[in-house]
Amino acid sequence: MTDQYIRFDRVTKSYGALTVIKDLDLDIAKGEFVSLLGPSGSGKTTLLMMLAGFEGPTSGAVSVGGQRVDQLPPHKRNMGVVFQNYALFPHMSVADNVAFPLEMRGVGKAEREARVEKALDMVQLKALKARKPSQLSGGQQQRVALARALVFEPGVVLMDEPLGALDKQLREQMQLDIRALHHRLGLTIVFVTHDQSEALTMSDRIAVFNHGRIEQIGSPTDIYDRPATRFVAEFIGETNVLDGLVEKIEGARAVVATTQGVRLIVDAAPDMRPGDKATVSLRPEKIHLGKEANLADGASFATKVVDAVYHGDHFRVQLDDAACGLIVKSDRRQGMWAPGQETRASFAPSDCWVVRA
């Protein structure tokens, strides 16, 4: 996407001697769903609060639609905000909670009621509009908070860990519901989460934060399959990280000798040279187990199963040192695995991705 709707231009945020955002640039297109993903303390929520207007940048500029907003108070930014704790008024009905932003903007009663009906219909709660928040489930309360954020038709919707308090099944359903709303309404959403699966499920793009900087930004496929750094590879899902030295370059392929003594054929990085240190990411589901798996141009070696944990649809298998102690997610169709079992581990060069250490 090239339509730069939201822009952070060299933004830094410091609290005294502590700098939590460092000279950060980020562009978000209109109608895009961008997740800010990272561990606690990485700066993602601080960035969201600067966009919402609850925090100001120490330096740099924040713009929306080509206009600077970093000097505007929150209520003049036309942004809906959804927090993890819902922040609903307990003494008000569902309808009154949703109507509150419209009242603050001086919208007349008839229009207010029509907009509330529409917003509650979007989140499938119109039948519960007379209830108080205490009479609702956690998921229903979060839907009310979402309806309240959408009712005044904001230019941007900001969500700060909105699903963190929900149980797994409800959280996964809400992820799909929010994703469907985004597609249906064309909303511009900036979503803060520390949950990798959540970001992969919902986002057009993911910005991975680490110590106040964006390590990588890209589509879920880019972030997962082509991580730029070791941090991204290890933070997004599970991966095997193998360190070694480049022995030689053969066309588009490189031979890497790992510190464990295993030679890998990998897709070469553009600037890779013989003698360079190399860090290789190999996702567990890319590895095939079985005696028949023997790739002519990849890696294939005999190994033993050290441990095998049953996960229903797959086994999580740890291999012995002959296979660098690799972790494998083995589809049940590849067989049943148990400690001590002998097998072969195989993977293609394209399954290995060289990352920056």
pLDDT at 164: 79
What tokens appear for 178 in the block?
Answer: 């929010």
Q: Averaged over 262-267, what is the pLDDT?
A: 86
Residues composing the chain: 357
DSSP label at 229? B
DSSP 99-135: HHHHHHTT--HHHHHHHHHHHHHHTT-GGGTTS-GGG
Q: Is 111 exposed, middle or buried (0-12, 13-18, 19+ CB in 10 A)?
A: exposed
Mean pLDDT, residues 237-241 taken together = 92
pLDDT of residue 292: 60
pLDDT score recorded for residue 2: 47
Does the pLDDT of residue 52 top 80, yes or no? Answer: yes
Express each pLDDT in 94-132 by its tens digit: 999 999 989 888 889 999 999 999 889 888 888 999 999
β-pairing, 156-160 vs 79-83, is parallel
Confidence of residue 304 (pLDDT cuts 50, 70, 90): very high
- The domains of the chain, with CATH numbers, are 4-233 (3.40.50.300), 238-355 (2.40.50.100)
Q: Cα-flanking dihedrals φ and ψ of residue 265, to 5°?
A: -100, 120
pLDDT for 319 beyond 90 = yes
200 pLDDT above the threshold of 70:
yes
330-350 per-position pLDDT tens digit: 988 777 889 999 998 889 888
Q: Tell me, what's the pLDDT at 229?
A: 95
Mean predicted lDDT score pLDDT of the chain: 90
In this prediction, residues 211-228 reach a mean pLDDT of: 95
Rounded to an integer, the average pLDDT of 65-71 is 92
pLDDT class for 294, splitting at 50, 70, 90? low
Q: Is the pLDDT of residue 208 over 50?
A: yes
Q: Which amino acid is at 111?
A: E
Give residue-wise pLDDT tens across range 268-291: 888 889 999 999 999 999 999 987
Give the Cα separation of 250 and 271 in Å (integer): 13
Nearest to 36 by CA among 251, 260, 199: 199
pLDDT tier at 267 (50, 70, 90 boundaries)? confident
Q: How sure is the predictor about 264, in pLDDT bands with cuts at 50, 70 and 90?
A: confident
Higher-confidence position of 139 and 220: 220
Range of lowest pLDDT (18-22, 147-151, 299-303): 299-303
Read off the pLDDT of each residue in 282-311 and give the average, rounded to a whole number: 83
What pLDDT score does 131 carry?
95
Q: Which carries the bigger pLDDT value, residue 183 or residue 87?
A: 183
